[in-house]
Amino acid sequence: MSNAIRTLSPSTNKLIYEHPGTSLEEARQLAISAQDAHKSWKQVPLSERKSIILKALELIKANKETLAEELTSQMGRPIAFATKEIDTMRKRADYLLDIVDDSLKNLPGQPEDGFRRFLKKEPIGVVFIATAWNFPYLITISTILPALLAGNAVLLRPSPQTPLIGERFLSFFTEAGLPPHLFQLIHCGSLDVLDQIVALPQINLVSFTGSTAGGMRIREATARRVVPVNLELGGNDPAYVRPDADLAYVAAQLVDGAVFNSGQSCCSVERVYVHADVHDAFVHEVQKELATYKLGDPADQSTTTGPVISQQAVKTINAHIADALAKGAVDATPDNATFSAPPPDGNYVAPKVLVNVSHDMRTMREETFGPVMPIMKVASDDEAVALMNDTDFGLTASVWTKDVSAAEGLMDRLEAGTVFVNRCDYPSPDLAWIGWKNSGLGCTLGPHGFDAFYKLKSFHIKEQQA
């Protein structure tokens, strides 16, 4: 398999970037130089590290319109929403900067006369970070920022679909004054080569964001080394609409949660369970909402839904839809002229509403990762919870109701790393972003957002020899 990268724009399928790929030997040399850079960087005061990071963030802010256009070209998000990711990235970064001093301070031991004991948080060393294409600025900042602030060196492998994000981060951090070799790029288009790179002995931590299958492969590739692995993986995230919910409000929120970014989010709403008392009325509200959406060219400011990432994604999404229809699902998608006449050259999949679905269908069991909204009728809270937990994934889940107290009782029973009431599809920077089951290992963000990027060293000092 070639290690070269050829990035095609999802909206045109035209080539927009290519790179021969970083060889294993080149990656080894990058890792060795990163080791040397780390030794000096960890001695730099935290205040100076923060200052460099802030300068880089300001450079990103100053260039966000250009970066947004590049983002739309690389992964197809409508330009109307592209700058929002960079704004949200800054909020994440500011949160991490706010908590870094407390997160990295020493931890005292118990007082004892004649002794001093404490725990010091030491940087890991060389951190290999592989990020995904669907929210590349958000995903990347959640890992490179704590890694660098904690005193580590970073080898970043940007997704082959959004390679320019890596190039821009490198350029801005270099301009901001980050020392040479502390932040370096590895472009890799071959999973076989990636397996070899993550096994390099110079790498002290592997952080991967992507599919569950990709995360499993990373674990296998690192299995013969005692090296920590952080995984942010896929989801099949459920929502439950109780009979007292404000249906118009909830329909608007869940359509957005299912269709935003063309459904290409690990935490997008992939399954909706609706109490039988309001099922039909809810479906009607969903249809009204989705009828206002516009599928089309992502460069058009009026477009709400752009292409999916690739022709393979088109095939997978359509296969899930076909499987559901063959097993008895009913297509309840509203009439929408843009859904039936998308631009001719891109990877367009019209949003789809399916009813009469069951857990025999792939779209209810697997991650569809597309603008598909299956809606299933349930008779009670208990049935809804049982079905929501009937999955190998556990990233997020949401409950929609006016009775917040009742929802909180259901939250405790849901098997997911993040549970929402009357909200969905939003990783808050002050909470841990963590996957249960096959949705991940370790966490980013929140008060423990730095934990993966340091190791503990115990200091035990007896004040006198006698």
Give dist(CA 235, CA 269) in Å, integer: 9
Give dist(CA 366, CA 233) in Å, integer: 13
264 shares its domain with 219: no
Residue corresponding to tokens 């080149």: 26
Quick one: tokens of 25? Answer: 């030997």
Please name the helix (run of DSSP H) or strand (run of DSSP E) that holds residue 437, with its range, or none: strand 436-437
111 shares its domain with 14: yes
Task: Render pLDDT for 412-436 as a digit per residue (tens, 0 to 9).
Answer: 999 999 999 999 999 999 999 999 9
**Strand bridging mode 153-157 / 183-185:** parallel
156 shares its domain with 49: yes
Q: Is residue 264 in some structural domain? A: yes
| 3-state secondary structure at position 174 | helix
Closest CA to 298 of 81, 38, 47: 81
Instruction: Quote the pLDDT of residue 347.
Output: 98
Q: Is residue 185 in some structural domain? A: yes
126 shares its domain with 195: yes
Q: Where are the beta strands (DSSP E) in 395-434?
A: 396-400, 418-421, 433-434
Task: Render pLDDT for 309-345 as a digit per residue (tens, 0 to 9).
Answer: 999 999 999 999 999 999 999 999 999 999 999 999 9
Q: Is residue 429 in some structural domain? A: no
Instruction: Quote the pLDDT of residue 466.
Output: 76
Residue corresponding to tokens 């490198």: 170
Give dist(CA 9, CA 276) in Å, integer: 42
What domain count does the chain have?
A: 2
Give dist(CA 445, CA 146) in Å, integer: 9
Measured between alpha carbons, how far is residue 96 from residues 310, 388, 447 in Å? 33, 32, 9
Quick one: tokens of 343? Answer: 């631009």
Residues 6 or more apart in contact with residue 390 via CB below 8 angstroms: 359
Please name the helix (run of DSSP H) or strand (run of DSSP E) that holds residue 276, with its range, or none: none
Q: Is residue 433 in some structural domain? A: no
402 shares its domain with 444: no
Q: Residue 260 in contact with residue 237, Cβ under 8 Å?
A: no
| 3-state secondary structure at position 364 | helix
229 shares its domain with 241: no
User: What is the domain extent for residue 309?
Assistant: 237-421
Quick one: tokens of 454? Answer: 């340091």
Give dist(CA 431, CA 448) in Å, integer: 9
243 shares its domain with 229: no
Task: Look up the CATH number of the domain holding residue 133.
Answer: 3.40.605.10
Give the Cα-Cα-Cα angle 435, 85, 285 (nearest 5 degrees): 75
Give dist(CA 393, CA 424) in Å, integer: 16
Question: Left, alpha or beta for 177 (phi > 0: left; psi -120 to 50: alpha)?
Answer: left
| 3-state secondary structure at position 7 | strand
Q: Residue 219 in contact with residue 230, Cβ under 8 Å?
A: no
Instruction: Quote the pLDDT of residue 208.
Output: 98
265 shares its domain with 388: yes
Give dist(CA 216, CA 32) in Å, integer: 26
| Segments of the chain with pLDDT less than 70 | 1
Residue 48 a catalytic site member? no
56 shares its domain with 88: yes
Task: Render pLDDT for 77-94 as a digit per residue (tens, 0 to 9).
Answer: 999 999 999 999 999 999
Q: Is residue 466 in some structural domain? A: no
274 shares its domain with 401: yes
Give the Cα-Cα-Cα angle 152, 158, 160 (nearest 5 degrees): 160
In the set 18, 48, 175, 232, the catalytic residue is 232
Measured between alpha carbons, how far is residue 381 from residues 124, 240, 265, 269, 465 in Å? 45, 8, 26, 18, 66
Task: Look up the CATH number of the domain holding residue 409.
Answer: 3.40.309.10
417 shares its domain with 450: no
393 shares its domain with 455: no
